[in-house]
């Protein structure tokens, strides 16, 4: 879809859209433009594959484009493999509920937090002496 067509359709919307801030890349800041484009393409394919499993109203090209932009902006800083794992998890746990990017982002953050806590516990247990070592010490 051309940018001109999207702008024309957006101009026809009866209310005024607020300008959106641009997304600042963090995790993907070191990617080349080519690698970033490939990352976004893989991300969009994973999202579309998941969303097609759920009923949607008649397709609207402009709305689909805006929806994919929202998903991409929300998830582009995450590795695609992690996103795909969470999308699969969502489908298995919520077969009748279509996800939104907030659902997926919440699970990604929770998993990252759980992994961080597990690593901290492992580091503490590895670095702290056992009771026996402390008594001998």
Q: Is residue 13 one of the residues assigned to a domain?
A: no
Average of per-residue pLDDT values in the chain: 79
Determine the length of the chain.
Answer: 137
Q: What is the arithmetic mean of pLDDT over 80-96?
A: 95
128 DSSP 8-state letter: S
More confident residue, 73 or 8: 73
Q: Is residue 35 one of the residues assigned to a domain?
A: yes
67: domain range? 26-136
Q: What is the pLDDT of residue 97?
A: 93
Q: Is residue 18 one of the residues assigned to a domain?
A: no
Q: Is residue 20 one of the residues assigned to a domain?
A: no
Contact (Cβ atoms closer than 8 angstroms) between residue 45 and residue 68: no
In the chain, the number of structural domains is 1
More confident residue, 57 or 53: 53
């Amino acid at each position: 879809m051309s940018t001109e067509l999207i702008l024309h359709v957006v101009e026809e919307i009866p209310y005024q859209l607020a300008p959106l801030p641009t997304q600042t890349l963090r995790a993907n800041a070191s990617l080349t433009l080519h690698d970033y484009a490939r990352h976004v393409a893989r991300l969009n394919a994973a999202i579309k594959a998941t969303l097609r499993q759920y009923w949607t109203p008649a397709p609207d090209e402009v709305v689909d484009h805006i929806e994919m932009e929202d998903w991409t902006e929300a998830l582009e800083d995450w590795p695609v493999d992690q996103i795909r794992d969470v999308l699969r998890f969502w489908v298995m746990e919520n077969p009748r509920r279509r996800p939104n990017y907030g659902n997926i982002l919440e699970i990604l953050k929770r998993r990252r937090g759980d992994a961080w806590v597990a690593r901290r516990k492992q580091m503490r247990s590895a670095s702290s002496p056992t009771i026996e070592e402390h008594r001998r010490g």
